[in-house]
Copies of this chain bind each other. A is one copy, B any other.
Amino acid sequence: MEDKYQFTIELEVRDYELDSEGIVNNAVYQHYLEHARHQFLCHVGYSFAKMESEGLMPVVSRVEINYKSSLRSGDVAVCRLWLERKGIRFIFHQDIFNKATGALAVNALVTSVVVKNGWPTRGEKLAEFFKDYL
């Protein structure tokens, strides 16, 4: 399973991301997941900002997140992902682990589509950048 991962970043938990229970707030994981995808895009030589400037908008159409264990102050989130293409959809398989313990914190499936002028496209340009990963 682990072999499937194509990209990894590490993010330190920041104390302002904790909620009143002292654990990372649920919505913050979506920020981690988004940042990992955007960094992956940079990694392949493209970027969210460049896409925007070209009138291409990668839009998340669906998110599924399973919360498995909590991250806390001082923890490091290891965000790993692998990519799959299904028709016009780019599907990111994303897992977040607790670096110190190796425990799975979150497992997620994020589906996105490239939109241009408000309409979904086939995402060919994005697919070109991702070609080594598809």
Residues of A within 8 A of B (CB): 14-16, 18-22, 25-28, 30-31, 34-35, 38, 42, 47-49, 52, 57, 59-67, 72-74
Chain B residue with the shortest CB-CB distance to A62? B66
Copies held by the complex: 4
* Secondary structure class of chain A's binding surface, majority of residues: mixed
Chain B residue with the shortest CB-CB distance to A107? B62
CB distance from A8 to the nearest CB of B (A): 15
CB contacts (< 8 Å) of A65 on chain B: these are 62-64
- Does B15 contact A48, Cβ atoms closer than 8 Å? yes
Selected from B28, B49, B64, the residue in CB contact (under 8 A) with A27 is: B28
CB contacts (< 8 Å) of A26 on chain B: these are 30, 34, 60, 63
